[in-house]
Amino acid sequence: MFFRLIIAFVIVYLVYRMGKIFLSPSAKERRSFPGSPASIAGEDLVKDPYCGTYVPESSAFTVNINGETLYFCSKECLEKYKAEKMN
């Protein structure tokens, strides 16, 4: 009896997985989340010198210090960097 229950469970699980694979939309048809950028594919990531986080160059906060452009993940990291390095 126990063996039949296990086999039935495995069959149900396999049918579920096959249905999920065949009935789910393909990657091309999936919609993006509302409010997300249309595409950032191929965009360079830059490293925040304060916290070390990588962010897309287009959404980074930038500042030019001594002829060098620095990129930050947030305004807070930018301000903290300025407070530590500029004093």
The helix/strand/coil state of 42 is coil
Q: What is the pLDDT along the chain (87 residues), one digit of tens a residue?
A: 888 989 998 999 999 888 888 777 654 455 555 544 544 567 789 999 999 989 998 889 999 988 999 999 999 998 998 898 876
**Per-residue pLDDT at 76:** 92
Backbone φ, ψ for residue 28 (5° rounding): -70, -30
What pTM does this model have? 0.50
In this prediction, residue 30 carries a pLDDT of 52
Comparing CA positions, the residue from 52, 49, 57, 54 lying closest to residue 85 is: 49
Nearest of 78, 52, 77, 51 to residue 65 by alpha carbon: 78
Domain ranges for the chain: 2-27+43-85
Task: Give me the pLDDT at residue 85, please.
Answer: 81
Distances in Å between the alpha carbon of 33 and those of 3, 28, 43, 62, 87?
A: 44, 14, 19, 27, 42
The confidence score (pLDDT) of residue 86 equals 73
Per-residue pLDDT at 27: 47
Cα 20 versus chain centre, distance: 24
For residue 67, the number of C-alpha atoms closer than 13 Å in the C-beta half-sphere is 0
